[in-house]
Amino acid sequence: QVQVMQSGAEVKKPGSSVKVSCKTSGDSAVTYAFTWVRQAPGQGLEWMGGIIPLFGTTNYAQKFQDRVTITADESTSTAYLEVRSLTSEDTAIYFCARGVVVAGHKGAEPGQLDSWGQGTLVTVSS
Amino acid sequence: EIVLTQSPGTLYMSPGERATLSCRASQSIITNYLAWYQQKPGQAPRLLIFGASSRATGIPDRFSGSGSGTDFTLTISRLEPEDFAVYYCQKYGSSRPTFGQGTKLEIK
């Protein structure tokens, strides 16, 4: 059973950046993917992007392409999400999920999200 | 980008009843890379179904998924009190995975 542990809650000023971490443990899989999903208060799930650490490949939702960076450190099984130029609309719970890798049309892509972190609340307020 | 539309938005049911939740895709999902998640208040989502019809580890057999192409269904055969939650479908296995907007399953 994979455990996913995220970093703690953050309070940020508009225009600043935040970096959230996600560490997994409990298995020895070599091929896996990290995905970041956010949920604004009272809203649904929004896919932000993902990374396959073994290949170093990343994908981002178009709306986040210019101000989000997802990285991963295979040696520590940790993924990171950095969001820049924060506004109040970025106030949300940010979830990290670990999942399998599947064969997509253009090669390996993140699959279903098996294991989820507890979520990190990011509050953007002046 | 494929858009997933879930219906109904809210479903009012009683324990013991059978619930049917729908997820319709704007384009055919040829690979059947379609998952269902359950989310309870204050918790992270939990994977229920992947590959349109395969149950995830530890998921009770009252949960089943079906469908192909553009129309997918999550069925809960006999509702238990703990099943009242929000359910999301997700298309994965592409460069732009997407979630549906969710169906809230409420006690009648």
pLDDT value at position B36? 98
Chain A, nearest residue to B101 by Cα: A44
Contacts of A103 in chain B (CB under 8 A): 93
pLDDT value at position B39? 98
Chain B, nearest residue to A5 by Cα: B44
Average pLDDT score over residue span A36-54: 97
Average pLDDT score over residue span A101-111: 91
> Which is higher by pLDDT, B61 or A29?
B61
pLDDT value at position B18? 98
Contact map slice: A 2-31 vs B, CB within 8 A: none
pLDDT value at position A105? 83
Q: A40 pLDDT exceeds 90?
A: yes
pLDDT value at position B84? 98
Give the C-alpha separation, A60 to A77, whole Å. 20
Q: Could you give phi then psi for residue A87, rounded to 5 degrees? A: -125, 175
Contacts of A47 in chain B (CB under 8 A): 90, 96-99
pLDDT value at position B1? 84
Closest CA relative to residue A50, chosen from A37, A41, A62: A37
Ramachandran bin of A10, using left for φ above 0, alpha for ψ from -120 to 50, beta for the remaining angles: beta
Q: A28 pLDDT exceeds 80?
A: no
Asked if A114's CB is within 8 angstroms of B93's CB, the reply is no
Contacts of A116 in chain B (CB under 8 A): 44-46
Average pLDDT score over residue span A64-78: 95
Q: Is the omega angle on the peptide bond into residue B41 within 30 degrees of 0, that is, cis? A: no
pLDDT value at position A32? 93
Closest CA relative to residue B74, chosen from B107, B44, B46: B46
pLDDT value at position B65? 98
How confident is the model over B41-66, as pLDDT tens digits? 999 999 999 999 999 999 999 999 99
Give the C-alpha separation, A2 to A24, whole Å. 7
Neighbouring C-alpha atoms within 13 Å toward the C-beta of B65: 26
Contacts of A97 in chain B (CB under 8 A): 44-45
Average pLDDT score over residue span A20-34: 90
Is the Cβ of B2 closer than 8 Å to some Cβ of chain A? no
Percent with pLDDT over 90 in chain B: 94
Average pLDDT score over residue span A62-85: 96
How confident is the model over B85-98, as pLDDT tens digits? 999 999 999 888 99
Give the C-alpha separation, A95 to A6, whole Å. 8
